[in-house]
Amino acid sequence: MRGDVIAGLTVAVVAIPQCIAYASIAGLPPSYGLYSAVVASIAGALWGSSRYLSTGPTNAISILVLSILTPLAAIGAPEYLVAASMMAVMVGVFCIVFSFAGLGMLVNFASRAVLLGFTAGAGVLIAAGQLKNLFRLDVPRSPHLLSTLAKVVDAIDETHVPSLALGAGTIVVILLLGRFYKRLPGGLFALIGAGVVVAVFGVDRLGVAVVGEIQRTVPQVTGFPLGWMIELDLVGALVTGSLAVAALGLVEAVSIAREISRQSGERLDVNQELVGQGIANIAAGLFSGYACSGSFTRSAVNYQSGARSQMSSVFGGLFVLAGVLAFGPQAAYLPKAALAGLIMVIAYRMVDWHGVRRVIRTSRPETGIMVATFAATLVLPLEFAVLAGVILSLAIYIYQSSLPTVHTVVPSENFRHFVEKEETPACPQLGVINIRGALFFGAASHVEDELLRNYETNPGQNQLLLRMHGVFQCDLSGIDVLEGILRLYRDAGGDVYLVQVRPDVRQLMRVSGFEELIGEDNFLKQEEAIEWLFENAIDPAVCIYECEHRVFAECQPLEKHLYDIRLPAFPTRFRYPELQLNVPDFEDGLRRHGGSALLVDVRELEEYERGHLAGAELYPLRHIIEDAEKLPHDRPIFLICRSGRRSTRAMHWLIGLGFEDVHNLKGGLLSWKALGRPVEVD
């Protein structure tokens, strides 16, 4: 127990001045903050999941409570105090309902940027709200920033100099101790010093306002007069505000507990933590307290002070109670100006400057959430600001997670897999695109826009390979998009091919008719897709004569001959199908014409030397296009290349120049070898 006792005592020393300050922020007596710290820390520790989370009043919750309750009752009135306790009970009920409904995971959807933006805005509001106490101005309290500042400026001539001196001195002492003696509780020492000054010189002589005596009593059971609560519809008026407090409190508590659990190695049960926070708030509301959450400062102190179990928070609560019983009457000497100075330092430290800079550097969407929440905190009622930030965070998450990613990919340097490289040159004929995510009605237009953008960016790229392994869901809207893209590429003389289509997506393609439309042959095997496309879809003439890049492994052995000539476009529809001969007819034609036929191989020299038909003469396509008149017009010409595409281009070129007896081997040398026909190798 030794570590827990020491940690509990250390946390109590920090908690006493903090809780008095937080109660002041909420417009409540100091006892409400102290009793909340006593009851909530014990209940939250015993029923929660974290060993180190210290539950009690926090600055963010306090300013939110003030904003919600100010329109309902006058600050300090009995109705105000009852409403604060009732809100705590309602917050606790919400937390427990969330837990038993298994909604703890929803806390994950509330971006940390919401908390950063809200606490920064709350810090500004808190500091502005304490100006009246720092200067001791007789102006009404307002939750609205501009109204508060305007009232302070109008009454600034009435500044009470001794109060301002005590407040400024408190700020200086806290900052100096924090800089040179970080282990000392600067807030506690500063408040004690200010109290000693008032006690020595006298309250009447200085004319400063003081906090007032805290009764030496244990927390009392809160009385809820149901009659006037129902008459004022107090419960109904608190529902929205309590939901906002619960949302903020849960995000705050779970974020803190997770941060410490990463350092300590403990396993956090989020739903159990919701139960702990719920019971802590209910207990605080029933025993003269107000809404609570996890405190980062006190939790960090608890962990760093050597706490071993939840009993450290139990001891912390008991030590706070002991402090109230022992020194409660001395609060009569505590000046409100000094307390205002402490609160203004706390307000400044509320802003997580490191976290803000980190969000700005790393995430544009989260930066937008943070700025929007900050602005909403300054302008809107705080309960709506919190809910707006959470809803915006959730909306952005849904938007981002619902949109599939559509990225153009190219082979890696070793050609073993595909990678995303924006600066890598693209193949002028073949585009390879990864689609990851659900291809459903909500995302179909996004996918279509990205595919159309790729088509417009690469106008000559008429072959498209879609890698579909990341598409885990598809509906008819997604099928409609694929059909539209397929028609677009086929109208341009190209085609669309698919690899790694999941079975359930393939089944939808089958029953919707898309499989029949695209054709069975257009579903390729991942490991053979590029090679198959090079043999059957990609035009080698473009690779050799027009493209200077070597994007795929299949491009590497190709010899490049970049000439300033305009190649005839590959014909999408053969105008002379009767001249496209299969292997047996090609052989018959050569035999029938005997020695008069001219067998022309239109490939490059390196390809020709690796294997060619007996008797074939080498006339690369570039030579045919540049100087076709060297070929005889009075002899039948039989053309051949690797796959039949270059020779088809050459056939159309020669016919266009007036050659009458031209024939082409359909499928090229690949079809010749497929039937076991021999080739010669030089």
Could you tell me if 489 and 353 lie in one domain? no
Q: How confident is the model at residue 566 (pLDDT cuts 50, 70, 90)?
A: low
What pLDDT score does 500 carry?
92
Share of the chain above pLDDT 70, in %: 93
Average pLDDT (43-56) is: 91
Q: Supply the pLDDT for residue 571.
A: 60
Please report the pLDDT score of residue 18 as a whole number: 81
pLDDT reported for residue 129: 80
Residues 138-147 have a mean pLDDT of 75
- Say yes or no: 140 and 264 in one domain: yes
238, 384: one domain: yes
C-alpha to C-alpha distances, 496 to 287, 406, 417, 540, nearest whole angstrom: 70, 16, 20, 18
Share of the chain above pLDDT 90, in %: 26
Please tell me what DSSP assigns to residue 381: -
Q: Is 648 a domain residue?
A: yes
pLDDT of 564 higher than 60: no
Which residue has better confidence, 549 or 663?
663
- Model-level pTM? 0.59
Do 279 and 421 sit in the same domain of this protein?
no
| Average of per-residue pLDDT across 392-408 | 77
What mean pLDDT is reported for the chain? 84
> Tokens for 377?
């905190």
Handedness of CA 640, 646, 652, 658 (dihedral sign): negative
Same domain, 530 and 662: no
Would the CA dihedral through 328, 332, 336, 342 be positive or negative?
negative
When pLDDT is cut at 50, 70 and 90, the band that residue 510 belongs to is very high
Q: State which H helix or E strand residue 306 sits in.
A: none
Residue 218: phi, psi to the nearest 5? -75, 160
Q: Give the mean model confidence (pLDDT) for residues 180-205.
A: 80
Q: Is residue 356 part of a domain?
A: yes
**Number of other residues whose CB lies within 10 A of the CB of residue 521:** 10
> Given pLDDT bands bounded at 50, 70 and 90, which one contains residue 432?
very high
Q: What is the mean pLDDT of residues 279-298?
A: 90
Is the pLDDT at 565 greater than 60? The verdict is no
What confidence category does residue 522 fall into, taking pLDDT thresholds of 50, 70 and 90? very high
Q: Both 391 and 460 in a single domain?
A: no
Enclosing H/E stretch for 12: helix 2-25
Asked whether residue 214 is domain-assigned, the answer is yes
Query: What would the mean pLDDT of 619-634 be, rounded to a whole number?
Result: 87
Residue 285 confidence (pLDDT) = 93
The amino acid occupying position 584 is P
Identify the pLDDT of residue 584: 94
Which stretch of 201-210, 288-297, 481-490 has the lowest confidence by average pLDDT?
A: 201-210
DSSP 635: S
Where in 559-630 does DSSP place strands (E)? 580-581, 598-601, 617-618
Q: Is residue 208 part of a domain?
A: yes
Burial readout 246-267 (b: 16 or more C-beta within 10 A, e: otherwise): bbbbbbbbbbbbbebbeeeeee
pLDDT beyond 90 at 659: yes
Domain count, the chain: 3
Between 567 and 376, the more confident residue is 376
pLDDT reported for residue 35: 92
What single string gives the DSSP state of each residue in 117-174? HHHHHHHHHHHHHTHHHHHT------S-HHHHHHHHHHTGGG--HHHHHHHHHHHHHH
Do 380 and 426 share a structural domain? no
The residue annotated as part of the active site, out of 292, 474, 543, 641, is: 641
- How confident is the model over 346-355, as pLDDT tens digits? 778 778 888 8
Q: H-helix or E-strand containing 55? A: strand 54-56
Report if residue 441 sits inside a domain: yes
Comparing 291 with 392, the larger pLDDT belongs to 291
| Mean pLDDT, rounded, for 571-584 | 78
Task: For the beta carbon of residue 373, count every other beta carbon within 10 angstroms.
Answer: 28
pLDDT at 237 over 80: no
Query: Terminal CA-to-CA distance of the chain, rounded, Å?
Result: 90
Q: Are residues 187 and 315 in the same domain?
A: yes
Token pair belonging to 487: 């028609």
Query: From CA 50, how far away is CA 268, in angstroms rounded?
Result: 6
283-297, 345-359, 618-632: lowest mean pLDDT where? Answer: 345-359
pLDDT higher than threshold 90 for residue 511? yes
- pLDDT for res 618: 93
Which of 395, 424, 459 is the last residue before a domain boundary?
395
> Which residues constitute the domain of residue 635?
577-674
Instruction: Indicate whether 29 and 116 sit together in one domain.
Output: yes
**Which pLDDT score, from 0 to 100, does residue 264 have?**
75
Q: Please check whether residues 17 and 161 belong to one and the same domain.
A: yes
| Alpha helices per DSSP H over 423-525 | 444-457, 476-491, 503-512, 514-518
Mark which of 375, 395, 415 sits at the end of a domain: 395
Higher-pLDDT residue of 209 and 663 is 663
Residue 514 and residue 594 in one domain: no
Q: What share of the chain is helix, strand, coil (3-state, %, to 5)?
A: 60, 10, 30
Q: Does 564 map to a domain?
A: no
Which residues 6+ apart lie within 8 Å of 478 measured at CB? 439, 440, 441, 443, 444, 447, 471
Nearest by Cα to 556 from 536, 534, 529: 534
- pLDDT of amino acid 277: 93
In whole angstroms, give the CA distance from residue 366 to residue 435. Answer: 25
450 or 443, higher pLDDT: 450
Is the pLDDT at 531 greater than 80? The verdict is: yes
Q: How far apart are CA 25 and CA 30, in angstroms?
A: 10
User: Is 292 among the catalytic positions?
Assistant: no
pLDDT of residue 545: 75
Q: What's the pLDDT at 44?
A: 93
**Do the domain assignments include residue 513?**
yes
**Within a 13 Å sphere around the CA of 276, how many CA atoms are in the beta-carbon half?**
29
The answer to whether residue 176 is domain-embedded is: yes
CATH of the domain at 534: 3.30.750.24
pLDDT of residue 89: 94
**What is the CATH classification number for the domain harbouring 616?**
3.40.250.10
When mean pLDDT is compared across 607-616, 622-631, 635-644, the lowest value belongs to 622-631
One domain for residues 517 and 585: no
What mean pLDDT comes out for the span 157-171? Answer: 89
The first and second tokens of residue 565, run together, are 């000539």
Which of 342, 365, 395 is the C-terminal boundary of a domain?
A: 395
Q: What is the mean pLDDT of residues 371-400?
A: 75
Q: Quick check: 572 pLDDT over 70?
A: no
What are the tens digits of pLDDT across the range 249-270?
887 788 778 767 766 778 888 8
